[in-house]
Structure 1
Amino acid sequence: MSVAGEAVVVHSAPLLLPVSRPPIRDGAVAARDGRVLTTGTRRETLAAHPGAEEVRWPGVVVAGLVNAHTHLQFTRMAGVGARVYDTFEEWSDTFDEVYASMDGEDWAASTREGALLALRHGTTAVADVVTDLAALPVPAETGLAGVSYLEILGDDDREWARGGRARLTSTLGRLAAGDVPRGGGPWTARVGIAPHAPYTLDTAVLADLAGLMRAYGLRGHIHLQESAHEREFTVSGTGPLAALIRRIGLDFEILRAGGTGQGPADFLDGLGMLGPHCHVAHGVHLDAGERALLRARGVGVALCPRSNRTLGIDGPPVAALLEEGGMVAVGTDSLASSPSLDLLEDVRLLHALAREQGYRAADLARRLVEAATTGGARALGLAAGPGRIGSLDAGARCDFAVFDVDPGDPGDPDPYRTLIEDGPGQCVATVTGGVHTGLDRLANFTPEVPRGR
């Protein structure tokens, strides 16, 4: 029963996928002050909250999608992600060239365009990786939950000691004090640290960043095993990645020493990087031992299969990760490496990949929808406590997406598969913190791409 004077809104739909409980036909979620009160059938929910306003949605309502790896800042670099590359290194060279040409870009505006596109496709929370501080508060200002990660890359041990570390700790101090550029209003986003990758930072820098995460109580996020040549780089300090790093003028200890003899995951683990406070992106080339290590450390993996295809990379081992009980999440990466920010498109591709890789259990669609919701929430450390995300149960933040698809018959054995197969491109409403984001305004929204880029 609702408390007198407090407005309760009941959102109902032909099919409700709360994720935290089985699908509910003719289901509803009751919310107040941006939090979920109850979920159940429409009839029982309206009876429990007499006088509540009802909003009736079409099709399928699902707990808000969590994009567990993206760089919204690079939305205006969509031209880079509009083609397919032969190798990761070819894409990297193209990205660097275009990025260098965009000196003076309004990265906050680019991030805002990306945030609106994410909302347009049913995403309500993001793990957003940021290189420009002005972009940091933008996702939260648009209504997205999640974590904004400050990306660190390109520091060798000497430069880190000379000033890189001091700049980061100064920035963290400013953020803790609320001194951050923002468009107005309270800024409550969580902040994390994103060391870019094992091959773009010196060894002591990576170890120090791992320590700073723990000292400041911050989430961590790092690219791992995206390129096929990452293992060669950490084991022996050789290969195309080593050549790329030398070509851009970086002189890391791992190159001078001829490698560490360890694969990338073991290398990071030895530096204290891996733990339940951290999740990794891509994981395309994780072997069985590395997957076991991530499970033991409580590290989630954000899979971004469409980005992998753009970069000429094989799909991730999604079947093995699921069968072994790994913590799986889903990301789009940025428009600089992916054709869109529609997370369900990546879920649909993962479904096909898992079948190709031999996953035969009947629970595949359900587990992938869970990966795109609660899996992402777990990876970001936001799956528990008041205001949690990724599910629609009592006390969670009222985040959900509405997909105008046929909810199927009551006897449909797999409504999750219906969402995966028919849902991409069909989001008609997104609600964050109980507030409708007004996607009718965004129906024809496209990001600005400056001329000549």
Structure 2
Amino acid sequence: MIHSAPLVLPMSGPPVADGTVTVADGRIVRVGRGRGDVHWDGVLVAGLVNAHTHLQYTGMAEVGRRVYDSFEEWSHTFDRAYFGGGPGSWDPLTRKGVWDWAAGAREGIAQSLRYGTTAVADIVTDLEALVGSPLGGVTYLETLGDSDQTWREAGRAHFLRLLEGLDGRTGVSPHAPYTLDSGVIADVAALARDRGRRLHVHLAESANEREYTLRGTGPLADLARSYEFDFSILRDGGTGLAPVAYLDSLGVLGPDCHIAHGVDLGPEDRALLRARGTAVALCPRSNRTLGLPGPGVAALLAEGNRIAVGTDSLSSSPSLDLLADVAALRELALGQGYQGADLDRRLVEAATLGGAAALGLDGEIGCLRPGSRADFAVFDLEPDGREPYRRLVGQGPGRCVATVIGGEVVWVLGSAVVQC
């Protein structure tokens, strides 16, 4: 099958006017020029990769519809909704919510497809959320709430039973420095690497996280104590290390790991992430919902850090439209003084090639080149051969009209023109 469009953005190469994408057995055979068996009116782009989300929380959109004064305020609101009235005592083995996580995941998948997303880094906390999906990417099994003692007594064996029941493509997500004890984080990272599993962790989401890991004090320490977490950081008065250096000391960072958020990153933090080959999934609209400043995208771009883009979940973001987060990153970068003419191209690359690299799927997804999976999206945009990436970033949010995964049309807008 040959698909064509007035403009094709393969991401692995330059834009192609009057482009074609030839597909066989779900893979790209050729990208060229001409007229296809199926012609799409608009801009055809390599499938978007959402590098950080929790699709099971799609039903919790009410939590994400307001702007909070702090991460901690949002966290308390989220927990009240998750537990149906309050967290009570935290037991990671018997934690039960009041939500239909499978229904939330299915709706999240449907919404992702409508926005042109073809692959995700999806964090799953409740196994009920593991449902069939056409989306590619990596699913990460999350763990949180264990002290070193509870991990030794029961948590480790429970987590391993869950992990061993999942296929080898499933990664591991130790939630964050403030929801797991130091020994647990180190052991989870070692377990993942022993089994060839990728790692994904929330890190440096707010400045309060820095105070927590350095000194074991501040709002996040208070939050941890409210859950009756008995962590060494709280007992010892911190580690003396900033969050990125702290996770590195536990053996977490590496090219097989990517972090989410990275809002509070200084020059030393960014340099350490570069040295370890660890990518950052930026989620600016989620940060805004939580009352947080956006990430330092201008510095990350200028210094050459590996970046990707995520929406986070609807419990902390207004939509699962990845291009809306790309547009928010553009606004941040310009406000932070980024002046490079390559801004739009690099941000679209972050949402495609960058996401693929963060998930360890370079060449498989996020691009259109021979051998890659035939994933792409079509946007209702006038082709602009001079500034194609600028038009996609500025006008693309909300204008996806078709999504194709593995060569199969998995979503199409009823009014989209498909000429055969």
Place the TM-score, normalised by the shorter chain, in its bin: over 0.9
Which residue pairs with 1:130 in the alignment? 124
Offset of 1:190 from its aligned partner?
2.0
Offset of 1:173 from its aligned partner?
1.9
- CA–CA distance in structure 2, aligned partners of residues 173 and 251 of structure 1: 28
- CA–CA distance in structure 2, aligned partners of residues 308 and 355 of structure 1: 17
**Aligned residue identity for 1:154:** G
Which residue pairs with 1:218 in the alignment? 197
**Aligned residue identity for 1:296:** A
**Aligned residue identity for 1:36:** I
Which residue pairs with 2:133 in the alignment? 142
- CA–CA distance in structure 2, aligned partners of residues 232 and 334 of structure 1: 26
Which residue pairs with 1:5 in the alignment? none
**Aligned residue identity for 1:393:** R
The match for 1:432 among 400, 405, 414 is 405
Q: Map 1:174-185; keep pairs closer than 5 Å.
A: 174-176=165-167
Listed as ranges, the gaps of 5+ residues in structure 1 are 1-8, 47-53, 177-188, 444-453
Is 1:71 matched up with 2:54? yes
**Aligned residue identity for 2:196:** G
- CA–CA distance in structure 1, aligned partners of residues 119 and 345 of structure 2: 20
Which residue pairs with 1:301 in the alignment? 280
Is 1:407 matched up with 2:386? no
**Aligned residue identity for 1:135:** A
Which residue pairs with 2:392 in the alignment? 419
**Aligned residue identity for 1:289:** E
The match for 1:266 among 245, 249, 258 is 245
Which residue pairs with 1:19 in the alignment? 11
For 1:37-87, what per-residue CA distance to the aligned partner results, in whole angstroms no more than 9, with x for missing partners? 0101126xx6xxxxxxx1101110000000000000000000000000010
SS in 1 for 2:217: coil
Alpha carbons 2:10, 2:367 under 8 Å: kept: yes
Alpha carbons 1:116, 1:142 under 8 Å: kept: no
Offset of 1:142 from its aligned partner?
2.5
TM-score normalised according to structure 1 size: 0.88
Offset of 1:439 from its aligned partner?
3.1
Is 1:389 matched up with 2:365? yes
For 1:143-189, what per-residue CA distance to the aligned partner results, in whole angstroms no more than 9, with x for missing partners? 1000000111111111101111001111222224xxxxxxxxxxxx8
**Aligned residue identity for 1:97:** R
Which residue pairs with 1:205 in the alignment? 184
- CA–CA distance in structure 2, aligned partners of residues 144 and 316 of structure 1: 27
**Aligned residue identity for 1:92:** S
- CA–CA distance in structure 2, aligned partners of residues 114 and 314 of structure 1: 26
- CA–CA distance in structure 2, aligned partners of residues 442 and 235 of structure 1: 55
TM-score normalised according to structure 2 size: 0.94
Offset of 1:417 from its aligned partner?
0.4
Which residue pairs with 2:91 in the alignment? none
**Aligned residue identity for 1:61:** L
- CA–CA distance in structure 2, aligned partners of residues 175 and 87 of structure 1: 35
Is 1:86 matched up with 2:69? yes
Which residue pairs with 1:184 in the alignment? none
SS in 1 for 2:166: helix
Offset of 1:441 from its aligned partner?
7.1
Alpha carbons 1:329, 1:375 under 8 Å: kept: yes
The match for 2:213 among 224, 229, 234 is 234
- CA–CA distance in structure 1, aligned partners of residues 365 and 294 of structure 2: 27
Is 1:163 matched up with 2:154? yes
Offset of 1:365 from its aligned partner?
0.3
For 1:388-442, what per-residue CA distance to the aligned partner results, in whole angstroms no more than 9, with x for missing partners? 001000000000000001112x4x2x21000011110000000011110133479
**Aligned residue identity for 2:205:** E
Offset of 1:324 from its aligned partner?
0.5
- CA–CA distance in structure 2, aligned partners of residues 159 and 366 of structure 1: 47
**Aligned residue identity for 2:32:** G
- CA–CA distance in structure 1, aligned partners of residues 77 and 402 of structure 2: 35
Offset of 1:259 from its aligned partner?
0.4
- CA–CA distance in structure 1, aligned partners of residues 140 and 31 of structure 2: 33
Which residue pairs with 1:252 in the alignment? 231
Q: Map 1:350-365; keep pairs closer than 5 Å.
A: 350-365=329-344
**Aligned residue identity for 1:192:** G
Alpha carbons 1:69, 1:302 under 8 Å: kept: yes
- CA–CA distance in structure 2, aligned partners of residues 10 and 254 of structure 1: 58
The match for 1:340 among 301, 305, 319 is 319
Q: What is the aligned residue count?
A: 405
Structure 2 CA distance for partners of 1:441 and 1:273, relative to 1, 3 Å: farther
SS in 2 for 1:31: strand
SS in 2 for 1:229: helix
Which residue pairs with 1:330 in the alignment? 309
Structure 2 CA distance for partners of 1:402 and 1:240, relative to 1, 3 Å: same
- Percent sequence identity over aligned pairs: 61
Alpha carbons 2:141, 2:163 under 8 Å: kept: no
For 1:85-125, what per-residue CA distance to the aligned partner results, in whole angstroms no more than 9, with x for missing partners? 01010000000000001834221111010010001000000
Offset of 1:247 from its aligned partner?
1.1
Which residue pairs with 1:107 in the alignment? 101
